[in-house]
Amino acid sequence: MNGCFITGFPGFLASMLLKEMLKRYKECEFVLLVHPSQIEKAKDLAANRPNVRLFTGDITKDGLRLSPEQTDWLKNHITHVFHLAAVYDLAVPEQIAANINITGTRNINAYVKELPHLARYVYFSTAYVSGNRTGLIKEDELDAGQTFKNHYESTKFAAEKLVAELDGVPYTIIRPGVVVGHSKTGETIKFDGPYFIMRFLDKLRYVPVPYLGKSEALFNVVPFDYIIDATLCLAESDDAVNKVFHLTDPSPYESRKLYRMICEELIGKAPSWTIPPAVVEFMLSFSFFRRFFKVEKEALEYFRCACQYDAANTIKVLAKAGVQCPDFKDYVSSMVAYYKENRKDPEKLVYIK
């Protein structure tokens, strides 16, 4: 890689991607597209990096609001583009999601088509473009007439379609599952997704703990270091050109078993009874209970997602580089330990309305 253009900085995955790439590609020039509202934070994270440039811009605007001089520089130097900028809030209003996820991707698409030295355009989608589909979801499937649980899913689905329709652009689309902390250190930037389980269990450590329903659905979590390693492998693999990859756990645990493992690791005991999902949903329809248990109502849907993500092509390509997804049971202790040490950090907490 000679020149890399990364959107979504200083977001967590973009920051971790840059950190790893700086180790691997010491001669590479990096340009980070940063929204004006994030420029000060970006400056702190990118300080003292002579091969890192910050370009203030906006993916929702034509030309990304970059100057002619900046555009010329990108055309002369960029070989790889990593588009991570998106809104990930499960409760995001439709217009905001559409503006950032769809219009933003359309504008990035237009930009990459003007880069004469482009070797790869890596687009970060999500496994949950599958919406409410059930059963086996294959990597070469996208539009199956599915409906969606929220505007995050529907707009990422629409954005992925825009990328897949590009002509003459060597793209790679990745679909991560639910991303959690580092498999060895547990490090993460915020406690959402599966961490809502821990925030919920924190309130119940002195009482008999319930299972949240009897669902046998699989819950697909992946540590971010696997996402980074896999992304960089795919970005350089000729086998990944114009293809889609599920960066999901090939052997996911049932939600109920994953919940028990977290419970035992966090509070030292297993759940002993079951509360009906309808009761949990009813409780979380009230803001008081959402704030008390620190759980988003929208997150419950992902614990009963009745589908499995086929990752056969991903496994095949990554095996050539020795990259594989860790087993959840091997890193749940690191994940929980990091949560215990940082659960009162206000910057890692997700505000619940």
Write the secondary structure of the chain as one string of H (helix), E (strand) and C (coil): CCEEEEECCCCHHHHHHHHHHHHHCCCCEEEEEECHHHHHHHHHHCCCCCCEEEEECCCCCHHHHCCHHHHHHHHHHCCEEEECCCCCCCCCCHHHHHHHHHHHHHHHHHHHCCCCCCCEEEEECCHHHHCCCCEEECCCCCCCCCCCCCHHHHHHHHHHHHHHCCCCCCEEEEEECEEECCCCCCCCCCCCCCHHHHHHHHCCCCCCCEEECCCCCEECEEEHHHHHHHHHHHHHCHHHCCEEEEECCCCCEEHHHHHHHHHHHHHCCCCCEEECHHHHHHHHCCHHHHHHHCCCHHHHHHHCCCEEECCHHHHHHHHCCCCCCCCHHHHHHHHHHHHHHHCCCCCCCCCCC
Q: How confident is the model at residue 350 (pLDDT cuts 50, 70, 90)?
A: low
Decide: 248 and 127 in contact? Cβ < 8 Å. yes
Position 298 scores a pLDDT of 66
Neighbours of 168 (CB within 10 A): 6
Per-residue pLDDT tens digits for 56-115: 999 999 999 999 999 999 999 999 999 999 998 888 999 999 999 999 999 999 999 999
Position 294 scores a pLDDT of 67
The yes-or-no verdict on residue 196 having pLDDT over 90 is no
Decide: 315 and 324 in contact? Cβ < 8 Å. yes
Token pair, residue 53, equals: 């440039």
Token pair, residue 168, equals: 């003459």
Position 349 scores a pLDDT of 67
Mean pLDDT, residues 222-235 taken together: 98
Token pair, residue 133, equals: 């589909």
Percent of the chain with pLDDT over 70: 96
Q: How far is the C-alpha of 287 from the C-alpha of 64, rounded, in Å?
A: 38
Position 236 scores a pLDDT of 96
Decide: pTM greater than 0.85.
Answer: yes
Q: How far is the C-alpha of 219 from the C-alpha of 302, rounded, in Å?
A: 7
